[in-house]
Amino acid sequence: MKILSGVPLMALMGIRLEGVVPAGILPLLLTMMLFLGPLAQLAVDSPKGILVEIRLRCNLRSLALCVRDLKWLRNHVVAPVTEELVFRACMVPVIVPCTGPTAAIFICPLFFGVAHFHHIREQLRSGCDSLGDILIIAVFQFAYTYVFGIYSAFIFIRTGHLLAPVLCHSFCNSMGFPDFCRALEHPQRPVILFCYQLGVLLFLMCLLPLTDPFFYGMTPICILFLHPRAVCS
């Protein structure tokens, strides 16, 4: 009863053209800041140089090989699109009118984290790990996906675009969880650790400015808020 009837459903789900260019750039840039440490580590470890690696990975032949790889498509296209569509675009607009935006940011990721427990069955079938190890991995993965889900829901609410969390999700899948142990043992450890710290600092400083709804036009989901100034102001 609190939803205005004049708002298009697709717009509430974050599928709209207004502000789509900033939505495709700024949140991804923000996420790359958080991964500055791992990115610096990749750059240092690249034998040919990071620019050469980027050029090789972005050529048509490499892209064609990726498109033919079903595992790559699952991790970088299918999973980000379908999971963000379900757990952000469909779920957030339903929960926000009931709980408000702040609570929705922390509630939706619970479903997102639990949805990844299906990996337990895959690991049990493979028989490579013990049940205890599998449960530890499952708990860790739940915690990691829950934290990412909070960030993704925050991005979705602030930008009002589905594209933003989809691109961030795909990028995080490509990077994986940061290898802190390897960073501590790296020959260039001071530089790598400095980049880790700098990345976190830049991320915290730019979190609100780069997700300011001003860049993304009228955010339709703001209409659902019981208290509109909670996030959109």
Q: Known catalytic residues? A: 83, 116
Please, are residues 213 and 164 in contact by the beta-carbon 8 Å criterion?
no
Say how many residues make up the chain: 233
Tell me the CA end-to-end span of the chain in Å, nearest whole number: 23
- For residue 84, give every residue at least 6 positions away whose Cβ sits within 8 Å of its Cβ, in sequence order, or none: 152, 156, 162, 165, 166, 169
Residue whose pair of structure tokens reads 């790359």 in the numeric block: 32
